[in-house]
Amino acid sequence: MTEPDGVPAPTQEQTAHALAAVTAEAQSAAAAELMVLAENVHKSFGHLAVLKGVDLAVRPGEVTVVIGPSGSGKSTFLRCINHLEKINAGRIWVDGELMGYQQRGARLYELGEKAIARQRRAVGMVFQRFNLFPHMTALENVVEAPIRVLRQPRTAAAQRGRDLLARVGLADKTDTYPGHLSGGQQQRVAIARALAMAPKLMLFDEPTSALDPELVGEVLDVMKDLAREGMTMVVVTHEIGFAREVGDSLVFMDGGVVVESGVPRDVIAAPQHQRTRAFLAKVL
Ligand SMILES: Nc1ncnc2c1ncn2[C@@H]1O[C@H](COP(=O)(O)OP(=O)(O)OP(=O)(O)O)[C@@H](O)[C@H]1O
Ligand SMILES: [Mg+2]
């Protein structure tokens, strides 16, 4: 087939390449404006498809709250964002950088360990279980990575570590071992420890669900302060009150896809999908 002026029409393959290039360029441009951009993320464990095309966009300074039933893929998705899991398809950018991979032509190649570690440093993660080092004091837990990984001088790291512990309300616990701290206090140390790496983005995976009810508030308060100070956060939680008060957007996941998302109070007051309604009815 030729065009009327005699210029050969592009083959299907050329068109596909050109489109891929245009799309890749548009994606990079969009990714540069966003703190997180996830497109069509797929993840399987063996035959079990866990993420089936997840999309997410988080602007700098925004708090995105992710909710959804057990097994819907929330933790897996968070772990994909900082490349603790390899993805099977799709793309994830953090602050404009493709996470875990390098694109050459239309193909992705996994980055080396060093490059992945460098990318991961920009992303703080707080889990349900605090995973503090039991043989180190609160302050030692906080300064360990800055000294060992960022090679900060010990005195500077300790000064900053004390500031961070004060920021999470634990100025008087710097020399206390985790075993002598409450769950809420341990979780606040874990948050200070993540902040010590000066992350651009913080991921929280059910940070309060292992806590006694009376300790939940103190951890949520620290997270609210962080949000107010402009930290970009993706938070998996069932604390709907937190989502309503602090969230810029609420994402409901079920069966490995985002079923719906929007302004938290809109999604909570008027969910568009039956599955969202059913889930909210259970947790509210
Ligand atoms: N490393 C793994 N190997 C095999 N299967 C896994 C692995 N990690 C997660 N899964 C499976 O993937 C699915 C999603 O798990 P995930 O932990 O992401 O769900 P979730 O939404 O965080 O659930 P919950 O609310 O219970 O924390 C589950 O069926 C789980 O068993
Ligand atoms: Mg989980």
pLDDT at 40: 96
Question: Which ligand 1 atom minimizes the distance to the CA of 128?
Answer: 27
**Ligand 1 near 76 CB (within 6 A):** yes
What is the pTM assigned to this prediction?
A: 0.91
- Expressed in angstroms and rounded, the spacing between residue 205 Cα and the centre of ligand 2 is 7
Per-residue pLDDT of the chain (284 residues; tens, 9 = 90+): 434 444 455 566 665 565 565 566 677 777 789 999 999 999 999 999 999 999 999 999 999 999 999 999 999 999 999 999 999 999 999 999 999 999 888 888 999 999 999 999 999 999 998 889 999 999 999 999 999 999 999 999 999 999 999 999 999 999 999 999 999 999 999 999 999 999 999 999 999 999 999 999 999 999 999 999 999 999 999 999 999 999 999 999 999 999 999 999 999 999 999 999 999 999 98
**CA 23-24-29 angle, 5° bins:** 95
pLDDT at 150: 95
Q: Which of 22, 77, 49, 74 is nearest to 209 (CA)?
A: 74
- Expressed in angstroms and rounded, the spacing between residue 81 Cα and the centre of ligand 1 is 15
**Ligand 1 near 237 CB (within 6 A):** no
pLDDT at 22: 59
Question: Which ligand 1 atom minimizes the distance to the CA of 73?
Answer: 18
Mutate which of 70, 76, 259 for ligand 1? The one with the most ligand atoms within 8 Å of its CB, which is: 76
Which residues, in sequence order, are bridge partners of residue 43? Answer: 51
Q: Whose CA is nearest to atom 8 of ligand 1?
A: 76
Q: From the CB of residue 199, how many other CB atoms can be counted at a distance below 10 Å?
A: 18
Classify residue 171 by burial, with Cβ atoms within 10 Å: 0-12, 13-18, 19+: exposed
Q: Whose CA is nearest to atom 31 of ligand 1?
A: 71
What is the spatial distance between Cα 204 and Cα 194, in angstroms, rounded to a whole number?
10
pLDDT tens for 62-103 read 999 999 999 999 999 999 999 999 999 999 999 999 999 998
Question: Which ligand 1 atom minimizes the distance to the CA of 78?
Answer: 18
- DSSP letter string, the chain: -B-TTSPBPPPHHHHHHHHHHHHHHHHHHHHHH-SEEEEEEEEEETTEEEEEEEEEEE-TT-EEEEE--TTSSHHHHHHHHTTSS--SEEEEEETTEESSEEEETTEEEEPPHHHHHHHHHTEEEE-SS----TTS-HHHHHHHHHHHTS---HHHHHHHHHHHHHHTT-GGGTT--GGGS-HHHHHHHHHHHHHTT--SEEEEESTTTTS-HHHHHHHHHHHHHHHHTT-EEEEE-S-HHHHHHH-SEEEEEETTEEEEEE-HHHHHHS-SSHHHHHHHHHH-
**Ligand 1 near 45 CB (within 6 A):** yes
**Ligand 1 near 251 CB (within 6 A):** no
pLDDT at 28: 72
Question: Which ligand 1 atom minimizes the distance to the CA of 68?
Answer: 21
Q: Which of 203, 205, 187 is nearest to 75 (CA)?
A: 205
Mutate which of 42, 47, 48 for ligand 1? The one with the most ligand atoms within 8 Å of its CB, which is: 48
**Ligand 1 near 47 CB (within 6 A):** no
Q: What count of residues does the chain have?
A: 284
- Expressed in angstroms and rounded, the spacing between residue 136 Cα and the centre of ligand 1 is 31
- Expressed in angstroms and rounded, the spacing between residue 104 Cα and the centre of ligand 1 is 31
Q: Whose CA is nearest to atom 7 of ligand 1?
A: 45
